[in-house]
Chain A
Amino acid sequence: MRFKIRRFDGERSYWQEFDVPVKRGMTVLEALYYIKENLDPTLSFRASCRMGVCGSCAVRINGKPRLACETQVSKLKEPVKIEPLKNFNVIRDLVTDFEGFFKKHEIVKPYLIRKSEGEIRQTPEQLKRYYIYTLCIKCGACMSACPVAKNCLGPMPVVSAYRFNEDSRDEGKEERLKILSDHIWHCHFVAECSEVCPKDLNPAEVIQKLRLEVLKFSMRW
């Protein structure tokens, strides 16, 4: 199967083609490793867990941001075009710069803020209210798909903020809403983030829900 990969060596950017013998059940990540180990050792990409939980391997496959390790080669159209994520600066080949991404994450105070002490109880219902939003693996797919993320917070930090706001153990909701009130209005509801999220977290919905909360919160002031 033919792969077209977007290369960048620090100065020059170009397409390169590779032919990879495909086996049943092969993922795009395995194909990338095949290329690196057999055809061109200079190909750079990130990967770690190869089971869709670490978030290292997001790239654009045929235009859509996806996890390379979770994408079956057999389900793709030939030639398979692989490019680095959009809205990130490319360091090398498929490797993009995530420093800014994690800095944005920090802005929303993504940790449990809690002054009370003593035993904590949380019922399964309370857990369910926020649980799915804890599943964000911070792969950057949503940021790549969003047409406005480059100049604003983007979807990922908002999901994190929502996850803590909805946690019954948390006492920092107001702080976070205050921070979000500066950022949350940039969204244009393109909802592309929800389309590409590999964990189906629906960031677009979360943003809209939080807008209403930020609004309610600001009105009280």
Chain B
Amino acid sequence: MNSILTSIYAFSVQRLPYITLIVTFMGVALRVMRWRSSPPDPEKIKIDPVESVKYVILDVVLFRKTWKTDKAMWLALFLFHGSVAGIVFGHLRGFHIWSITLFEAFGHAFAEFMVHTLPIYVGYVFIITQVYFLARRVMLENKQLTSMPNDYIALVLLLMKSIAGQGMRLVAPEAVPTALYSVVFIPRFVVLHLETIPNSHWFHIHIILTQLFIMYVPFSKFIHIITGVITPAIYGSRRKQIDR
């Protein structure tokens, strides 16, 4: 590997995580400041925890409103968010939040399927649904919707990082060490433990794109990862006040 690439890869593991943390926190802080500097609402909506949770479950978890409007989009949204949840959960094993023993109670073959086989299928679903979103956006552009540049940048970045992640699974690993292979991003806080040493290119492209994506979240429509729970919760409480 040439030295420039080696330095970039080293930078992506040793330095970029700190930059990612700082930029992401600053981005979120800027967003919050932008909202805080706007005038408060004249009407105080009394938050009703039961109604708010009900609306979050119905509208954020089950996509009730999308079901009413567009069944194909509902399926895509459901599969996309389901695969996000699965992928995030899967990654947590690498950070030693859980281990394969979680599934061993159902037999070793099942546990193997859950941690090694299923993620590959989930990865495909993740990529296919993103391609669908991108194609839908392009087809409806300037008809039913108008996008802002960040709508596309965020989607393309996510798609690229997903393809790199899937590539990493499909390409043969560089080695299978006897002990776990650890990648230290932030000593003692963010340490990834891998069973194999993945293909270096796919791995580093994946982690670079992932970090770029995380940094971009507060500046893009992916801010809805946070606010997409808040607005339906407020709406749920509002409806409680309205409905007779």
Report whether chain A binds chain B: no
Residues of B within 8 A of A (CB): none
